[in-house]
Amino acid sequence: MSTNNLAQSIYQKAIECGYENCGIIPISDLDGYKDNLNERMAKVPQSAQLYKNAEAFTHIRERYPWAKSAVVCITWYGKFCYPESLQGRYAKSYFLSPESVPNCTEHQDELRFQEWMTEQGLRWEGGEKYGSTRNMPLRHAAVAAGLGTFRKNNFFYTEKGSYYGLEGYLIDEECTYKQTCSIKACAQNCTLCQDACKTHALSAPYTMNPMACVSFWTTFGQGKIPPFLEERQFENWICGCDACQDACPHNRHDWSNGEDFSGLDEITELLQPENILNASDDVLCEKVIPKTVAHIPPEQVNTLRITAARMLRNSVTESA
C-alpha cells in the first residue's frame, strides 16, 4: 500500500470504528512538545515535579525508535447525555470515557480499530493500555494534525467544544493525514474560564498550575487539600473538575440531550455523595473506580469518601 493509500485507509477505518475524526502526523511533529513543556514549567516552576511524567513525551523517538508516525483519533463526548445530578461533581471526560465500560460499543470499536491495524501488518503502540498517562502528548498531537486548536484554558477544542476523548497510536510506517483547522481564537478580553477557576490554578491565558488544580487533588492527590488552598475552593467537585470548560461559551451544550452512556444510569444513585459515604470498598471499587479511568487506583478508594464528605460540607455552607 502506498503511504497515501495507507493514510487514507487508516482515516477511513477510524471513522468506520466510530471516531469522530482522525489525523496522522510524522513523528517529528511531536518534537515541538519539548518547547511547550519547558515553557509551561518556566511559567509555573512549582509544576515541574508533576510534569516529570510528561518528560517521557520529549523522548518519544528514543523510546520508540521504530515509530515513524503518530495517529490521533478523537471522540466527542457531547453525543452522550450526562445526568444533571453528576454535573458540577464528576468530570465528564472520566465518566463518559468508553474505557470505563469494557463491553460498551465504543470500547469494542476501539479494539476493532486496533485489531485492524495489526491485520494490516502495522506495528503499533498506544490506546488505553497506558492509562491516564498515554504514550504521547495527545492534545499536542491532535492540534498538530489540524483536528482542532488550544484555547486559553489549555484544552483541545474543535468547533463543538472541548469535551473530547483522545486516543493516540504510534505506527511504524511513514504516512500523513493532516487537516486544516479554521477555528477562531478566543476573544481577547474573555476571562470566563479564569474567573470560573476558584483555586486560581488557571492564573493566566494558557497558564495552569496543576498543583493548584481541583482535578489533581480530587484524584491523584487523594482528596487532600494543600496548605495554600481552602476547602471551599473545591466547591462541589468529587472527582475531577470541569469548571474552566463549562464556563466557556464554546462549550454551550444541553447535556440532557443525546445518547445514553452505557451503564451510567445504573450508578447515578450510587454517585450521590451520601451514598458514596455509605458504600463499601468492594462496591466502590467494582462500580465507581473503573469510571475514573485510572485517575483513582482501587487502593486509594477512600479518596472518593474524602471528596464526597467535603462536597457535602461545602453544599451546607453554600445554603447557609
**Quick one: which segment of 1-9, 120-128, 176-184, 211-219 binds ligand SF4 (CB under 6 A)?**
211-219
Residue 76: φ, ψ to 5°: -85, 120
Pick the closer one to ligand SF4 by CB: 170 or 193.
Answer: 193
The number of residues that bind ligand SF4 (CB under 6 A) is: 23
**How is 12-39 classified by DSSP, letter by letter?**
HHHHHTT-SEEEEEEGGGGTTHHHHHHH
The residue from 141, 243, 264, 311 that contacts ligand SF4 (CB under 6 A) is 243
**179-198: which residues touch ligand SF4 (CB under 6 A)?**
186, 190, 192-193, 196-197
- Do 145 and 72 form a contact (C-beta atoms < 8 A)? yes
The residue from 214, 271, 279, 304 that contacts ligand SF4 (CB under 6 A) is 214
Tell the smallest beta-carbon distance from residue 295 to ligand SF4 (Å): 13
Told to check if 247 binds ligand SF4 by CB under 6 A, we report yes
Q: Please, which residues bridge with residue 190 across strands?
A: none
Told to check if 151 binds ligand SF4 by CB under 6 A, we report yes
Q: What span, in angstroms and rounded, lies between the C-alpha atoms of 121 and 139?
A: 27
Told to check if 295 binds ligand SF4 by CB under 6 A, we report no
Torsion region of 126: left, alpha or beta (phi above 0 gives left; psi -120 to 50 gives alpha): left
Q: What span, in angstroms and rounded, lies between the C-alpha atoms of 144 and 30?
A: 8
* Residue 27 grid coordinates: 513523528
Told to check if 81 binds ligand SF4 by CB under 6 A, we report no
Told to check if 293 binds ligand SF4 by CB under 6 A, we report no
Q: What span, in angstroms and rounded, lies between the C-alpha atoms of 303 and 94?
A: 15
Told to check if 241 binds ligand SF4 by CB under 6 A, we report yes
Told to check if 229 binds ligand SF4 by CB under 6 A, we report no
**Contact partners, residue 100, CB within 8 Å, separation at least 6:** 94, 290, 291, 292, 293
Told to check if 201 binds ligand SF4 by CB under 6 A, we report yes
Pick the closer one to ligand SF4 by CB: 135 or 218.
Answer: 218
- The residues binding ligand SF4 (CB under 6 A) are 151-153, 186, 190, 192-193, 196-197, 199, 201-202, 208, 213-215, 241, 243-244, 247-250
